[in-house]
Amino acid sequence: MERVVKEWMRANQQQAIDFLKEIVQEPSVQGKEIGAQKKVANKLNQMGLEVDIWEPGGEEFIKHPYFCATRTDFAGSPNVVGVWRGTGGGKSLILNGHIDVVPAGDETQWFHDPFSGKVTDGKMYGRGVTDMKGGNVSLLFAIECLKQLGIKLKGDVIFQSVIEEESGGGGTLSAILRGYRADAAIIPEPTDMKIFPKQQGSMWFKIRVKGRSAHGGTRYEGISAIEKSMIVIEEIQRLEKKRNERVTDPLYQNIPIPIPINIGVIQGGDWPSSVPDQVELQGRMGVAPEENMEQAKKEMEEALNHLSHLDDWFSEPPQLEWFGAQWVPGTIDPEHLLMNQIISKFRQVMKCEPMVEASPWGTDGGLLNKVGEVPSIVFGPGITGMAHYPNEYIELDKMIACAEVIALTILEWCEVSG
């Protein structure tokens, strides 16, 4: 079967490349996903899958404890799911990918139009091509290959093209609440063809540091919130060090800081000749795969409360707020059957051993794992170091190789009928 799958993919790979170009040319930034989703829905219909299209919403969704988004109105931003029904008696599999992309940024830094899908030297360039439309096409190409070969499976295959991953996973949460569950899932985020059984989670936070204003000429009569914020940042760095010293999982051995705490925004002061009376720090806190997010929040709160031992000014600790996006951590047993199968198929296709690591960032796999109780593996063809960067590209031969690995994994996991 491996030879037949490989031959079909080689003969039809241009179709996959052409379809990738089509959806890359649809700039599916937040709120504008519908063009790309229509193309995905058409493709699923052509493949003969049962297609479900809906816009996330409803009280259960918006008020769910894991709901996280920058908006509550998803009109014009549909999810698309295609189901390939099995004959029964086999294990089911979710193939989940997000259609939303981050903005292109400064287009003068791009060699080509960021939504051109330009192909050169075996690479396709474009925003979202590696994160993660190339991975989505690997999923579709795997399914199309097996269907074209006339194969029938015992277990269901559920392809999901979801929105909102870049803002915390609202699309996948909506799919779970709609009833889409399976025995396991594969998510082809850009892993450089590494296999991630564990996914770091993360949360955004704001810390407001107060000072006392005064004239810059007599700054000694004021309390600089900027200077006090430096003490806060040093305490956060100590917290990061303490949290990471506890991480002994060998899957993190190649990652210098397994669960970082990053300060990404500093805002404060409004006049050069005034002592600033308030600074706001905004950042991202990493959460370990097996860690409870509430426990991570508690550790941040305790660190800020500890500031009073360092400086009497912090007798009232800085105000902490959790806001915006969050990504739920997730894990699958490294000895899980699907892990063994995907590693085996990787060896067959790539003729080498796969690298198995823990993800340095969050994915929708955490929601599938925690809310949907669906064990999830992250494995995809995109380049980690290209996601969100100018001149984002994907190596097209890896997209096809990923599709081959996934197709062979589907055959073994879902089982061939008859």
- Whether 52 sits among the annotated catalytic residues: the reply is no
Amino acid at residue number 418: G
Which of 52, 100, 164, 189 is catalytic? The answer is 100
Query: Is the predicted pLDDT of residue 418 greater than 90, yes or no?
Result: no
Mean pLDDT, rounded, for 105-129: 96
List, for residues 235-264, the tens digit of each pLDDT value.
999 999 999 999 999 999 999 999 999 999
- Whether 249 sits among the annotated catalytic residues: the reply is no
Residue-averaged pLDDT of the chain: 96
Query: Is the predicted pLDDT of residue 324 greater than 90, yes or no?
Result: no
Percent of the chain having pLDDT more than 90?
Answer: 95
pLDDT of residue 1: 86
pTM higher than 0.95: no
Which of 165, 240, 357, 395 is catalytic? The answer is 165
Query: Is the predicted pLDDT of residue 268 greater than 90, yes or no?
Result: yes
